[in-house]
């Protein structure tokens, strides 16, 4: 049983993440088109969650063909490939640094700096699965979004 968190996105690893995504898509036989790649780059370059609206605003200054449906389709592709996670409570997206295997990404949301971290906990997943199964409910997936302060903001406030 392990529990660990890490930064979901990290500015210095954006290029690494893009290279990784290119290799992953090639191995899966799916296309990381220039727009999909650019959307991923914009999401990965931020430690905070990024709203589709902000992506559209950014892309429209670069490429006037980037209309909302195109950007939403690019996001759907990135979600389906596990390259980004949706942050439901913020209606926004964060990059994933380990998209190779599907995983339940619980998210820790810092109210102070906006950083989003992933939390992986086998113990938590097992506890949720057990508690839900006891009700007879057939769960498809369960993902928690925890609001609070990140370790850096706690330290700064201390």
Instruction: Give residues in contact with Zn ion (CB under 5 A).
Output: 96, 105, 110, 112-113, 115, 118, 150, 153
Are the CB atoms for 74 and 36 separated by under 8 Å? Answer: yes
Min CB(78)–Zn ion separation in Å: 12
User: In the complex with Zn ion, which residue's Cβ is closer, 66 or 87?
Assistant: 87
**How many whole angstroms from its chain centre is CA 50?**
9
Q: Which is nearer to Zn ion, 40 or 105 (CB)?
A: 105
Structural contact between residues 36 and 72, judged by C-beta atoms closer than 8 angstroms: no
CA distances from 154 to 85, 89, 148 (A): 25, 22, 9
3-state secondary structure of 113: coil
User: Which is closer to Zn ion, CB of 25 or CB of 105?
Assistant: 105
Report the nearest approach of Zn ion to the CB of residue 71 (Å).
Answer: 21
Pairing of strands 116-121, 3-7: antiparallel
**Min dist. Cβ of residue 132 to Zn ion (A):** 21
Least distance in Å: CB of 99 to Zn ion?
Answer: 7
Nearer residue to Zn ion within complex by CB, 91 or 112: 112
């Amino acid at each position: 049983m392990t529990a660990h968190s890490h930064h979901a996105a990290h500015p210095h690893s954006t290029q690494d993440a893009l290279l990784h995504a290119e290799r992953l898509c090639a191995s899966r036989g799916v296309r990381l088109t220039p727009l999909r790649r650019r959307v991923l780059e914009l999401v990965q370059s931020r430690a905070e969650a990024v709203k589709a609206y902000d992506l559209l605003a950014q892309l429209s200054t670069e490429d006037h063909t980037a209309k909302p449906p195109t950007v939403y389709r690019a996001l759907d592709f990135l979600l389906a490939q596990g390259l980004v996670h949706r942050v439901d409570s913020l209606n926004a997206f964060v990059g994933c640094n380990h998209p190779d295997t599907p995983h339940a990404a619980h998210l820790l949301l810092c109210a102070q700096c906006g950083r989003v971290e992933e939390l992986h906990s086998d113990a938590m997943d097992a506890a949720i699965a057990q508690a839900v199964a006891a009700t007879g409910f057939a769960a498809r997936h369960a993902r928690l979004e925890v609001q609070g302060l990140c370790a850096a903001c706690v330290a700064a406030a201390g």
